[in-house]
């Protein structure tokens, strides 16, 4: 069993990455149903929590069926992160994660997220402040470095372990890469195989198939894999990876009935949690991913992003299920959406 503090996980856990505007409770629910072992909230601003910002507070919502679940915070000030950690602890997550990886300008250029990668001493002080402020296990999600000239993740891992983090997740890109090019797992492997490192190391970046997950596990020896973009509209990837690693065989691809059922559950939970207006509006970003690869689907997708009631949306989804009954989805690698102003770190 893998362990993060007092949290027991399977031998090779699959983690759902925290993704801004994606990893909300409705999305986490369908990922949990399909094999995610550890999940995180969307990242939450420490300053927003302290100001009692409604959006930030809403992101603290977690549910018993999600456990183990972590709340992720970000910020560039020791006092603010310490206060935010105390606020988070009251909500009783299983762990607290610090985001040192978000590359978007509005975060990184304000000295938070991946911006902290330019100052390792500051990163260590911020992390130490959080560790000292909570009894929760503290973990970190970060990147290889700020740019190709400053890939300092090996030093970062040692420094953060020394101040008390219980696990480290590493995205195999620098901040300047954003989500372009291929993730580089070589440095992730070096961190994992550093004899000084005793905490779990989780790799993240471009895992879009069971074959790739198995290859990365075998080649780099990481303790688990974190999956982000590949799970959007395709939560089945978690169980598919687990089954392939165990048996060497592929699970059957989800049918159109499977896709519609999960999409409807996602929609209904979205409305329950956010209310009918926001829940329906924010669900619109997910339909294209659930229906990806289906021929002549544009007309239905247009309806799904314009209708305004759950009843109407259910009717359209059920019509899709009837009209595409028997359609066989090909087993091809999942297309990874390239986020620019989002932040799936």
- What does each C-alpha distance from 29 to 25, 65, 121, 342 come to in angstroms? 6, 8, 37, 21
Nearest CA-CA partner of 152 in 107, 198, 121: 121
Q: Which runs of consecutive H residues, i.e. helices, occur in the chain?
A: 25-33, 46-50, 54-58, 78-90, 105-108, 120-133, 153-162, 186-192, 210-220, 237-247, 256-274, 276-283, 287-290, 298-304, 310-323
Domains contained in the chain, CATH given: 8-247 (3.20.20.70), 256-323 (1.10.1200)
Coil, helix or strand at residue 4:
strand
pLDDT tens string 244-302: 999 999 999 999 999 999 999 999 999 999 999 999 999 999 999 999 888 999 999 99
User: What would the DSSP string read from start to end of 169-215?
Assistant: EEESS-TTTTT-S----HHHHHHHT-TT--S-EEEES---SHHHHHH
DSSP secondary structure code for residue 334 in this structure: P
- Mode of pairing for the β-strands spanning 7-9 and 2-4: antiparallel
Which one of the listed residues 31, 102, 263, 343 is annotated catalytic? Answer: 102
Nearest CA-CA partner of 172 in 103, 110, 263, 96: 103
Q: Please determine, for residue 29, whether its predicted confidence score (pLDDT) is greater than 60.
A: yes
Weakest mean pLDDT among 45-49, 105-109, 230-234: 105-109
Q: Please determine, for residue 208, whether its predicted confidence score (pLDDT) is greater than 50.
A: yes
Backbone torsions φ then ψ of 17, nearest 5 degrees: -65, 145
Q: Is 114 within 8 Å of 146 (Cβ atoms)?
A: yes
Could you tell me which residue, 208 or 111, shows the higher pLDDT? 208
Q: Is 159 within 8 Å of 100 (Cβ atoms)?
A: no
Weakest mean pLDDT among 111-115, 291-295, 296-300, 316-320: 111-115
pLDDT tens string 161-199: 999 999 999 999 887 666 667 888 999 999 999 999 999
Alpha-carbon distance 39 to 69, whole Å? 5
Alpha-carbon distance 2 to 141, whole Å? 17
User: What would the DSSP string read from start to end of 209-264?
Assistant: SHHHHHHHHHHH--SEEEE-GGGTT-TTHHHHHHHHHHHS-PPPPPPHHHHHHHHH
Could you tell me which residue, 345 or 136, shows the higher pLDDT? 136
Per the annotation, the verdict on 102 as an active-site residue is yes
The average pLDDT across 3-22 equals 93
pLDDT band, residue 343 (cuts 50/70/90): very low
CA pseudo-torsion sign 100, 103, 106, 109: positive
The whole-chain average pLDDT of the chain stands at 88
Q: Quick one: pLDDT at residue 100?
A: 85
Alpha-carbon distance 193 to 57, whole Å? 38
Alpha-carbon distance 46 to 21, whole Å? 17
Q: Is 96 within 8 Å of 131 (Cβ atoms)?
A: no
Query: Residues near 307 by Cβ (< 8 Å), separated by ≥ 6?
Result: 280, 313, 316
Q: Quick one: pLDDT at residue 66?
A: 94
pLDDT band, residue 331 (cuts 50/70/90): low
Percent of the chain with pLDDT over 70: 88
Query: Residues near 135 by Cβ (< 8 Å), separated by ≥ 6?
Result: 89
CA atoms lying within 13 Å on the CB side of residue 84: 34
Q: Quick one: pLDDT at residue 110?
A: 52
């Amino acid at each position: 069993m893998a362990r993060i503090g007092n949290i027991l996980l399977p031998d090779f856990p699959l983690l759902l990455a925290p993704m801004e505007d994606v990893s909300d409770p409705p999305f986490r629910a369908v990922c949990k149903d399909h094999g995610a072992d550890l999940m995180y909230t969307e990242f939450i601003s420490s300053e927003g929590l302290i100001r009692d910002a409604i959006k930030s507070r809403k992101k603290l919502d977690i549910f018993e069926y999600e456990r183990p679940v972590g709340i992720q915070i970000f910020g560039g000030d020791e006092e603010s992160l310490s206060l935010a950690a105390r606020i988070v602890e009251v909500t009783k997550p299983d762990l607290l994660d610090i985001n040192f990886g978000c590359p978007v300008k509005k975060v990184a250029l304000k000295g938070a997220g991946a911006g902290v990668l330019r100052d390792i001493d500051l990163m260590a002080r911020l992390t130490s402040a959080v560790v000292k402020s909570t009894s929760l296990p503290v973990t970190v999600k970060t990147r290889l470095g700020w740019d190709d000239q400053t890939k300092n993740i090996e030093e970062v891992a040692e420094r953060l372990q020394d101040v008390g983090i219980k696990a480290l997740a590493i995205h195999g890109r620098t901040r300047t890469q954003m989500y372009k090019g291929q993730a580089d797992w070589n440095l992730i492997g070096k961190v994992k195989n550093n004899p000084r490192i005793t905490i779990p190391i989780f790799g993240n970046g471009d895992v879009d198939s069971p074959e790739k997950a198995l290859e990365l596990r075998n080649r780099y020896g990481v303790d688990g894999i974190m999956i982000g973009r590949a799970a959007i509209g395709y939560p089945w990837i978690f169980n598919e990876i687990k089954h392939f690693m165990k048996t060497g065989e592929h699970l059957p691809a989800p049918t159109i009935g499977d896709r519609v059922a999960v999409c409807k559950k996602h929609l209904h939970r979205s409305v329950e949690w956010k209310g009918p207006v926001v829940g329906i509006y924010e669900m619109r970003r997910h339909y294209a991913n659930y229906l990806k690869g289906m021929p002549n689907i544009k007309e239905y997708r247009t309806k799904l992003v314009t209708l305004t009631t759950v009843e109407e949306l259910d009717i359209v989804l059920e019509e899709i299920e009837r009209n595409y009954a028997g359609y066989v989805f090909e087993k091809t690698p999942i297309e990874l959406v390239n986020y620019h102003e989002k932040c799936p770190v």
